[in-house]
Amino acid sequence: MRLRIAAVGRLGARTPEAALIDDYLNRFTQTGRALGLGPASIAEVEDRKGGGKAAEAALLSRQIPEGAALIALDERGRLISSPDFAAALARFRDQGRPEAVCLIGGADGLDPALRDRADLVLSFGAMVWPHMLVRVMLAEQLYRAATILAGGPYHRA
């Protein structure tokens, strides 16, 4: 099952966040290959016309292939453990989903209609995080999920 992070906004290629994201997604792809997970990629969209959440949702929707599992990151989402996140990814894979798409909205969040389409709505806590850090945290959790499923030592319960 391929994995895509579809996010509103552009992250510079030479930023510290980009280096961390690349590292974690490469680790995810290497670890996940034997598990039927990966490769992982990022798709960035940008609403240059200022159409708000609805326009961003339209752009994000173009990044969702037929049959993909949708994971939305939203402050109103569920707080789950890393092993539960790993189990959700495994469940989507085992259902035969060709891809899982993790959605990260713009500064005002995801359009409710797009969020409501998600198979899983997650929150990284009650605090507000910059979108670029959310990408890093998500990439790390993807790698952690792959190591949990592989039985590796990275995650210590």
128 is known to lie in a ligand binding site = yes
127 is known to lie in a ligand binding site = yes
d(CA 72, CA 17): 20
106 is known to lie in a ligand binding site = no
Q: Mind listing the pLDDT tens digit for each residue in 102-156? A: 999 998 999 999 999 999 999 999 998 898 999 999 999 999 999 999 999 999 8
126 is known to lie in a ligand binding site = yes
Is the residue at 156 inside a domain? Answer: no
SS3 3: strand
105 is known to lie in a ligand binding site = yes
Is the residue at 63 inside a domain? Answer: yes
Q: Mind listing the pLDDT tens digit for each residue in 41-93? A: 999 999 888 889 999 999 999 999 999 999 999 999 999 999 999 999 999 99
Is the residue at 40 inside a domain? Answer: yes
Average pLDDT, the chain: 95
What's the total number of domains in the chain? Answer: 1
- Residue 13 CB: number of other CB atoms within 10 A? 8
**Order of strands, sheet of 99-104, starting from the edge strand that comes earlier in the sequence:** 40-45, 2-8, 99-104, 69-78, 120-122
Is the residue at 155 inside a domain? Answer: no
Is the residue at 82 inside a domain? Answer: yes
Looking at residue 41, the DSSP 8-state letter turns out to be: E
Return the CATH number at 80. 3.40.1280.10
**Domain span at 96:** 2-150
pLDDT higher at 12 or 144 = 144
